């Protein structure tokens, strides 16, 4: 009960802050339960809320964990609506940095002593500050330029308390049933919890950076910084400094003399190499995390650099095969096969008609086939897709949330680099070749052999378990079958029956 009061208190406090930005107005919709409408109206009273909701401003006023949650929800217009998602897309993860004097002790602790013993210099002015961490430029004792990333003091406790309240609220929402149950808010919050908890351990980010670097080793024009493992800890990450122009800097980007079509292909192929080929991908590929590295003495043409590996995604091989076939089917217009895959993967409840689902996909896919992304009305496309998910009762797939979010990001960045790019045309040859390699006759034979060998390797264990469960009969002759136990008297347990029998026997011995 006490925890429920704490959660309600936090929600009311946060709700009041959001109400001042009009961010609770959608919760006054007549289609929502009366209790939710009442709470939203009470929170808005006397707040001076604007008529147009400012969702980004409301969540930014709540705190760092809410900023991260807002960025995650921006990729879920099916859950919060297109208008709210578009507003949250402008939510910037930029906060004033913690003064260097306030974090210097944390740097010393991470270095195991004075930081001057391991670094020649650390710029006291942060080059970037977000809700979870901030970044400073530094030079190691060997003279190498690096980026030094530090967790904000106290952020772990703040996030932990916020997550508990999010989980509590999501459980109560899902219990309302209907559309709330279909959207699976508990699964959404569980996925978000995994993302943000991973961001709070900078050793995990270092490992993510290293793994992405291995995956992209074959993509020479996609640069991943190396990790300084000796200086990195749970609260401090040290990686190579990348000199370049941020893709988010439109003016600087416009002044660059680069092969834009080539760099857009590098970005798309680099993402596909991670997500489709390996099932492990950088899941925060927005403009602020990507750089254009101009030509220099090491390379005669521009390249792409990437930073910030706090959020990554994983999808298993079976899901990747389904995804690749879906993408290839949509690009080629094979809607029947796309529908079959959705049913095989369990994405659509089996009581629906695959042919009807294929027709619904065609209604959304045909108007955009062969068109450039800049000519596609994204709002209309999303409305069509969400209509399909509702009509065919498709539950949310938490393992695909990050992938969906990242695909949208990659397309947006590719268009920023080259406004003429068509992501699907760039992706189609890669996906087609991967599907052929992974689902061709040779691959199917290899998969079958591997599965059968694994099964054969289990036979000795299965045999030993069977022997242990079926021991050899002993020397004693088998007993005759016993009559069945008498039916239990309602209300009497075995213990009470034995006690009553003992008392009866004693009475006969004493008074008989």
How far lies 232's CA from each of 81, 117, 151, in Å?
40, 15, 12
Helix (H) or strand (E) holding 17: helix 2-19
- Sequence-ordered strand ranges (E) for 144-219: 145-151
Does the annotation mark 284 as catalytic? Answer: yes
3-state secondary structure of 466: helix
Return the CA Rg of the chain. 30
- The 10 Å Cβ neighbour count of residue 287 is 17
CB 133 within 8 A of CB 187: no
- Sequence-ordered strand ranges (E) for 184-241: 222-223, 236-240
Tokens of 287: 């403009």
Of 438, 178, 417, 421, residue with least CA distance to 325: 438
Interatomic CA distance for residues 14 and 67, integer angstroms: 12
Q: Give CB contacts under 8 A, 24+ apart, made by 154-161.
A: 155/64, 155/131, 155/200, 156/200, 158/63, 158/64, 158/65, 159/64, 159/65, 159/132, 159/196, 159/197, 159/200, 161/10
Of 141, 151, 95, residue with least CA distance to 117: 141
CB 192 within 8 A of CB 69: yes
User: Catalytic residue among 228, 284, 308, 418, which?
Assistant: 284
Q: Give CB contacts under 8 A, 24+ apart, made by 468-472.
A: none
- Which residues are designated catalytic? 284
């Amino acid at each position: 009960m006490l925890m429920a009061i704490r959660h309600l208190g936090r929600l009311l406090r946060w709700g009041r802050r959001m109400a001042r930005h009009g961010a609770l107005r959608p919760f006054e919709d007549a289609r929502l339960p009366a209790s939710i409408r009442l709470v939203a109206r009470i929170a808005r009273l006397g707040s001076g809320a604007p008529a147009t909701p400012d969702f980004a401003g409301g969540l930014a006023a709540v705190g760092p964990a809410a900023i991260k949650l807002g960025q995650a929800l921006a990729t879920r217009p099916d859950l919060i609506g297109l208008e709210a998602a578009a507003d949250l897309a402008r939510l910037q993860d930029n906060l004033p940095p913690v003064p260097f004097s306030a974090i210097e002790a944390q740097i010393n602790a991470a270095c195991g002593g004075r930081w001057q013993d391991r670094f020649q210099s650390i710029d006291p002015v942060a080059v970037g500050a977000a809700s979870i961490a901030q970044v400073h430029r530094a030079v190691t004792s060997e003279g190498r330029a690096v980026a030094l990333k530090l967790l904000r003091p106290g952020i772990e406790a703040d996030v932990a308390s916020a997550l508990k309240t999010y989980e509590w609220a999501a459980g109560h929402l899902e219990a309302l049933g209907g559309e709330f149950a279909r959207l699976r808010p508990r699964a959404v919050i569980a996925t978000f919890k995994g993302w943000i908890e991973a961001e709070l351990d900078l050793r995990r980010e270092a490992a993510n950076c290293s793994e992405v670097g291995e995956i992209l080793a074959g993509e020479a024009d996609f640069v991943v910084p190396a990790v300084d493992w000796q200086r990195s800890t749970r609260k401090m990450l040290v990686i190579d400094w990348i000199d370049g122009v941020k893709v988010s800097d439109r003016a600087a980007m416009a002044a660059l003399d680069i092969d834009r079509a080539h760099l857009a292909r590098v970005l798309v192929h680099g993402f596909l190499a991670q997500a489709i080929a390996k099932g492990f991908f950088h899941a925060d590929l927005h403009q602020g995390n990507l750089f254009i590295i101009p030509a220099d003495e090491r390379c005669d043409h521009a390249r792409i650099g990437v930073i910030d590996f706090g959020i990554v995604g994983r999808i298993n091989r079976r899901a990747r095969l389904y995804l690749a076939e879906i993408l290839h089917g949509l690009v080629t217009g094979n809607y029947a096969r796309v529908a079959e895959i959705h049913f095989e993967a369990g994405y659509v409840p089996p009581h629906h008609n695959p042919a009807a689902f294929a027709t619904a996909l065609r209604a959304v896919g045909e108007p955009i086939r062969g068109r450039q992304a800049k000519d596609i009305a994204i709002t209309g496309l999303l409305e069509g897709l969400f209509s399909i998910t509702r009509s065919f009762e498709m539950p949310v797939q938490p393992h695909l949330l990050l992938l969906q979010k990242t695909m949208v990001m990659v397309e947006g960045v590719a268009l920023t680099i080259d406004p003429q790019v068509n992501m699907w045309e760039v992706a189609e040859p890669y996906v087609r070749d991967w599907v052929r390699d992974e689902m061709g006759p040779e691959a199917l034979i290899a998969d079958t052999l591997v599965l059968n060998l694994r099964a054969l390797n289990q036979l000795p264990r299965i045999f030993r378990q069977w022997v242990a469960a079926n021991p050899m009969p002993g020397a004693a002759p088998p007993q005759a079958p016993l009559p069945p136990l008498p039916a239990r008297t309602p209300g009497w347990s075995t213990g009470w029956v034995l006690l009553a029998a003992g008392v009866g026997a004693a009475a006969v011995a004493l008074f008989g």
